[in-house]
Amino acid sequence: MKPPSNQTTPCASTMPKSSRHIRFPGKTRPNPSTELDAFACLRESLPKRVHRLANRRARTACVFVFIILISSLWCYSADVVFIRSAGTTSSEQRELELATQFYGVNLNVVTAGDNTAGSALREVQRKGTLAVAIEANALALVNREALLRALHREPHGSVPLLVLGVTSEAGPSALSIWSGGAAVGVQHLENQPGLRYVVGHVAGITQQLTDLEIPFPGNDTFYFALAGDQKAQEVLAVRNDHQDVPVFIEAELGQQKIFLLCKTHPAGDNVLEGNANNVQTAFAELAPVMMFIKYGVGERGWHALHHYANLTIDDPWLREPYGDLSYQGLLKEMEKHDFHTTIAFIPWNYDRSEAQTIALFRSHPERFSICIHGNDHDHKEFESLERKPLNTQIGDLKQSLARMEKFQALTGIRYDSVFVFPHSIGTESILEELKTYNFLATVNSSNVPMDRSQPSAPLFALRPVTLSFGGFPSISRYTAGMKDPNDFLGINDFLDNPLFFYTHHDFFASGIGAFDGMADAVNRIEPDTRWRNVGDIVKHLYLMRLRDDSNYDVLAFSNSVELENTSERDLDFEVTRPELGSSTVASVSVDGRDYPFELRGGGLSLRVPVRAGGTRSVVIQCKNDLDLASINPAHDSVRVDLLRMVSDYRDITLSKYQAGRAITDYYYKHGVTPLLAIAFGSTLILFGLGGAWSLWIIMKKKNPVGGSTDVLTKDRVARAAGRG
């Protein structure tokens, strides 16, 4: 793997310096005698590898490397066998390496030759072999009948076979023999800009990608000429302005399922080594091979149990309406179109909630939820350490928790300690502090801290969550206003990635149904999508794979994990949470009780039995100095008070008027100029005078009893607490 471009620090902080293996005994350790296999092997092998890695300057890639290690280098006997000819490594092999790493299975590379045919077949026959790929230029070195026999599994099954890298050098007769007569030739499509993949509809393999168009990486490809009798199913075609040509097909050779894939990068022009900066580009590079490997390895590869999605709206507090956002209206849309909304709540607003909206949230926890959005939200609150020292930022984190606890006490609405940074993600150092103070995760438009660059590892862009920074789960989210989202949604669903969307109140200026189309698209592409609060999604953010002993490995990204046994038999889950050092862990509990765990290779692991159909809750707590009782949640800065007042004015008052919206838009496009400041100030004064005049008229008419802001605050608190 190529190291990232911004390596500045070694990964010593995230990897052990020696082969440390610490065991923490506990009273309730379940069935210790069954601890075996993969982890025993890991103990022997991982520290040495990790130690070698520590010498590299690849901090941002370290966790990623770690995940690859635990994915594919444990003594895990699930293999994909790749049969190739002698000579240089092909781009097809590189694609297979990446796809098998992603799914956490081994790639067993066998070079075919006159003297090695027997050993290649023995590898194919092995019980742990889940799928076999063979390079087209090695077909002549393999006895077809013997290979088919080796692929056979009693009583009726067989291991799927992929022939890849097919070019026009494959003669028509060989092609016909290996495709069961489905393909009769191969042709070349050259110099065609703007090509797209078109995904077919093939059971078990195209899944959520079915019928989608996704970008094709390159300008030329080989493609199949098919026999007219429709013996082949088209998994992927490539489309230009005139035609669709099949490049990836499925055919039958008797009982054997065989996939054939043309060489799609004839010029060797793929960008596998790290230019992909989004999931679509990264996936397009590997699409056919990822589809085959996922199909071939099934439960034995890393997969998620469910699909999750969430819409988060940043900034509002609980009043009806907040600018263009009507909570009442949104609830109706959520019920009709089946989605869930989280408010990224500014803790400064902790004591301002209105009773009616509180009641709405409390009676619909399945539709509304709360997470934490900064503390004061004074512009980019968590910024570079030069501009704002780490200690001050830590103080803000602690106060955000104290305020949210107060919010929860006042309103009876629980919150998720998932942190959304105001404006954009902070530094890696503050991510480490989020871990220390037991936040669950951070979700932002980028998962890469402001003082780091995206690692160039080719697989990085394929998952929205990373532990590469401070060992804390950092998750990407996406704008709710995304245009033509189908390929993006299909690819993420195919990869088992959760979908986090975000927006602001003004997204609903066009109508409260503004998100309905996106929710419908998500639910259409993956009907089993679970719309949940962000806390729930983070607790289910883990990958599983079936082990040789019929239990499951679990790769957890968060310190809180809700294990679910959806099977009909009792299971043990071998849970690993990478990137937790012994100095940081204060306790580990399962269902609220202390639980034994082990620390090794910089990560934490434990074995948790879960009954059929049952769930168990794992919580890892880090050591810290948090003392909520000692933190004053009250507003403590006139500057912040004024800023929040202006923000309210912008969102709640200005947004009602065309001129007000224009000023706000201008501000966000151009920042504050003297002219804008004058225009904004004048508008504020005008609206202020207007408001004061109206208030004076109303007061005069009603002859009210006196009231102070203090009374109003108390009234809000009282209503918030359900006392009035």
- Nearer residue to Zn ion within complex by CB, 54 or 480: 480
> What's the gap between Cα 711 and its chain centre?
46
- Nearer residue to Zn ion within complex by CB, 232 or 346: 346
Q: Which two tokens stand for residue 71?
A: 């994915």
Q: How far is the CB of 362 from Zn ion (least distance, A)?
A: 24
Number of residues that bind Zn ion (CB under 5 A): 3
Q: Cβ neighbours of residue 153 under 8 Å, at least 6 residues apart?
A: 159
- Nearer residue to Zn ion within complex by CB, 227 or 643: 643
Q: How far is the CB of 375 from Zn ion (least distance, A)?
A: 12
Which of these ranges, 81-89, 101-109, 309-317, 522-530, lies near Zn ion under the rule CB under 5 A? 309-317
Q: How far is the CB of 641 from Zn ion (least distance, A)?
A: 17
Q: How far is the CB of 423 from Zn ion (least distance, A)?
A: 7
- Considering only residues 42 through 61, tell me which ones interact with Zn ion, judged by CB under 5 A: none
Determine the residue with CB nearest Zn ion.
314
- Nearer residue to Zn ion within complex by CB, 217 or 422: 422
Q: How far is the CB of 500 from Zn ion (least distance, A)?
A: 15
Query: Can you tell me the distance from the alpha carbon of 538 to that of 577, in angstroms, rounded to the nearest whole number?
Result: 13
Classify 416 as helix, strand or coil: strand
Q: How far is the CB of 650 from Zn ion (least distance, A)?
A: 12
Cis peptide before 30 (omega within 30 of 0): no
Q: Cβ neighbours of residue 343 under 8 Å, at least 6 residues apart?
A: 312, 313, 316, 318, 368, 369, 370, 371
Which of these ranges, 97-105, 132-140, 209-217, 314-322, lies near Zn ion under the rule CB under 5 A? 314-322
| DSSP result, 80-129 | EEEEE-SSSPPHHHHHHHHHHHHHT-EEEEEE--TTTHHHHHHHHHSTTE
- Nearer residue to Zn ion within complex by CB, 286 or 372: 372
Between the CA of residue 709 and those of 82, 647, 668, 696, 716, what are the distances in Å? Answer: 74, 19, 32, 16, 10
* Residue 379 burial by Cβ neighbours in a 10 Å radius (0-12, 13-18, 19+): exposed
Q: How far is the CB of 626 from Zn ion (least distance, A)?
A: 24
Tell me which amino acid residue 589 is.
S
Question: How many other CB atoms sit within 10 Å of the CB of residue 453?
Answer: 13
- Considering only residues 158 through 197, tell me which ones interact with Zn ion, judged by CB under 5 A: none
Q: How far is the CB of 352 from Zn ion (least distance, A)?
A: 16
- Considering only residues 417 through 476, tell me which ones interact with Zn ion, judged by CB under 5 A: 422
Q: Cβ neighbours of residue 63 under 8 Å, at least 6 residues apart?
A: 14, 466, 467, 468, 471, 578, 579
Query: Can you tell me the distance from the alpha carbon of 399 to that of 628, in angstroms, rounded to the nearest whole number?
Result: 8
Show the site string, 367-406: x = touches Zn ion by CB under 5 A, - = not: ----------------------------------------
Question: How many other CB atoms sit within 10 Å of the CB of residue 701?
Answer: 8
- Nearer residue to Zn ion within complex by CB, 34 or 637: 637
- Nearer residue to Zn ion within complex by CB, 314 or 553: 314
Q: How far is the CB of 314 from Zn ion (least distance, A)?
A: 4
CB of 167 closer than 8 Å to CB of 186 = yes
Alpha-carbon radius of gyration of the chain: 29
Does 648 bind Zn ion (CB under 5 A)? Our answer is no
What kind and span of H or E run contains 564?
strand 560-564
- Nearer residue to Zn ion within complex by CB, 216 or 501: 501
Please measure the distance between the N-terminal and C-terminal CA atoms of the chain and give it in whole angstroms: 62
Show the site string, 315-344: x = touches Zn ion by CB under 5 A, - = not: x-----------------------------
Which of these ranges, 105-113, 144-152, 280-288, 306-314, lies near Zn ion under the rule CB under 5 A? 306-314
Which of these ranges, 107-115, 180-188, 299-307, 312-320, lies near Zn ion under the rule CB under 5 A? 312-320
Which of these ranges, 133-141, 238-246, 313-321, 385-393, lies near Zn ion under the rule CB under 5 A? 313-321
- Nearer residue to Zn ion within complex by CB, 377 or 452: 377
Q: How far is the CB of 347 from Zn ion (least distance, A)?
A: 12
C-alpha dihedral, 634 to 640 to 641 to 646, nearest 10°: -150
Residue among 97, 314, 378, 493 that touches Zn ion (CB under 5 A): 314
Which of these ranges, 46-54, 311-319, 364-372, 444-452, lies near Zn ion under the rule CB under 5 A? 311-319
CB of 473 closer than 8 Å to CB of 465 = yes
Q: Cβ neighbours of residue 218 under 8 Å, at least 6 residues apart?
A: 195, 264, 265, 267, 269, 270
Q: How far is the CB of 647 from Zn ion (least distance, A)?
A: 9
- Nearer residue to Zn ion within complex by CB, 379 or 593: 379
Q: How far is the CB of 315 from Zn ion (least distance, A)?
A: 4
- Nearer residue to Zn ion within complex by CB, 315 or 598: 315
Q: How far is the CB of 651 from Zn ion (least distance, A)?
A: 10
Classify 212 as helix, strand or coil: coil
- Nearer residue to Zn ion within complex by CB, 314 or 396: 314
- Nearer residue to Zn ion within complex by CB, 315 or 579: 315
- Considering only residues 407 through 426, tell me which ones interact with Zn ion, judged by CB under 5 A: 422
Q: How far is the CB of 390 from Zn ion (least distance, A)?
A: 22
Which of these ranges, 12-20, 230-238, 308-316, 348-356, lies near Zn ion under the rule CB under 5 A? 308-316
Checking DSSP bridges between strand 552-556 and strand 603-610, what pairing results, if any?
unpaired
Q: Which of 31, 98, 39, 32 is nearest to 603 (CA)?
A: 39
Checking DSSP bridges between strand 474-476 and strand 233-239, what pairing results, if any?
unpaired
- Nearer residue to Zn ion within complex by CB, 233 or 400: 400
Q: Is the dihedral of CA 50, 56, 58, 61 positive or negative?
A: negative
Interface residue list for Zn ion (CB under 5 A): 314-315, 422
